[in-house]
Amino acid sequence: MYLVNVSIDDVSPHPQSSTKVLERCRELINVYPDIKFTLFIPAAYWRTKSQTTEKPLYLNEFPDFCKEISDLDQNNFEIGYHGFYHGIPNVSNNDEFRYASYEQTVDIITKTKEVVAKTNINFKNILRPPAWRMTGESIKACKDQGIEILALSSDKYPDGSLDYQDEDKNFKNVVYYNCCPPLKNLELFPKTEIVYHACEWDQNYLDKEKANQLKNFLDTENIKFCFMEDILNG
């Protein structure tokens, strides 16, 4: 039996990284009623280098977005944290936790939870850092701030920018992804974590073609769909 979770990063009020991706999710639910999605949502998505917005997209300022997310069927969807801005304003779109100290991480998580508290979205204490990058100190801070599960990468980037200083092993409750089409092709593992993105500019965007590919891939009797916690405990 293969445990399978499908996660989608960068779901946000950004017009090109939005809830449009949920159309693909609903198509998959029609075929696989028990499929489980984990949506990773930044609290104030702010891109300053490309596909920019003039200001941060604070979730609480987008009630229609929040309602659409909160109305999702909890049998199929769970929501996780994906940082505050997602990047470092005027420096990078993706590296919010890449250089973060313990104290900076505490500040990011505090601000994130403050914004989320102003919405009606039920976030679980699950966090995936943008581009999977975070420091060992960030991992320590996440644990102390009540994050229960981290969604990380077991790969090492050639430039050395993905190094958890073994703190991921100390955290213990970590789900590592193993499929990210087309960068890492679909393949079944005992614990299969499949990652897509909501941003339409990303080659990993869950478009109709990739959704059809995923639908065909999942056509087997040896699959059990799971949320993140079930992947860990399975």
Phi, psi of 168 (to 5 degrees): -65, -35
Report the percentage of the chain scoring pLDDT > 90.
94
Whether the CB-CB separation of 70 and 132 falls below 8 Å is answered with no
Provide the domain limits for residue 19. Answer: 2-233
Report the percentage of the chain scoring pLDDT > 70.
100
pLDDT in tens, 140-165: 999 999 999 999 999 887 777 788 99
Torsion of CA 178, 172, 39, 43, to 10 degrees: -130
Core vs surface per residue 149-165: b (16+ CB within 10 A) or e: bbbbbeeeeeeeebebe
Question: Domain containing 207 — which CATH number?
Answer: 3.20.20.370
pTM above 0.85, yes or no: yes
Token pair 């981290």 is found at 150
pLDDT in tens, 38-77: 999 999 999 999 999 999 999 999 999 999 999 999 999 9
Per DSSP, the residues of 88-103 read BTTTBSS-TTTS--HH
CA angle 223, 225, 33 (to 5 degrees): 100
The count of structural domains within the chain is 1
Q: How many CB atoms lie within 10 A of CB 51?
A: 15
Question: Cα(141)–Cα(129) distance, rounded to whole angstroms?
Answer: 13
Mean pLDDT rounded to a whole number for the chain: 96
Question: Cα(134)–Cα(42) distance, rounded to whole angstroms?
Answer: 15
pLDDT in tens, 6-43: 999 999 999 999 999 999 999 999 999 999 999 999 99
